[in-house]
């Protein structure tokens, strides 16, 4: 699975134990734990696919099954997409104007 890209309207600030995202377009805050912050920091261009990101997380947490990591990471990415904090991968067609603006940047 190709990873989504960060919405250019979102500001990220690291905090103890994670990060806080602010969507400046909608004035919405979203908190991330340490793993969520790792996922945010490893969105493209750092990692291109969910498999690459899952492998990187698996190296940090070898006691966790890679399939569990992949499932949890995908769930977070789906939540971030629903909240419009990330945008579909570049080249993905969408009719939703608020998400389409992400692809134009």
Delineate the domains of the chain, giving CATH numbers in brackets.
5-104 (3.90.930)
Q: How many CB atoms lie within 10 A of CB 44?
A: 17
Predicted local distance difference test score (pLDDT) of residue 89: 87
Residue 64 confidence (pLDDT):
95
Residues of the chain with pLDDT under 50: 94-101, 103-105
Tell me if the pTM is above 0.85: no
Length of the chain: 105
């Amino acid at each position: 699975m190709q990873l989504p890209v960060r919405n250019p309207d979102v500001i990220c600030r690291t905090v103890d134990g994670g990060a806080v995202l602010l969507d400046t377009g909608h004035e919405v805050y979203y908190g991330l734990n340490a793993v969520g912050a790792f996922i945010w920091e490893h969105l493209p261009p750092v990692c291109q696919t969910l498999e690459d990101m899952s492998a990187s997380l698996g190296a940090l947490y070898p006691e966790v099954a890679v399939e569990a990591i992949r499932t949890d990471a995908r769930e977070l990415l789906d939540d971030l997409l629903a909240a419009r904090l990330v945008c579909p991968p570049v080249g993905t067609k969408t009719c939703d104007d608020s998400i389409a603006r992400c692809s134009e940047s």
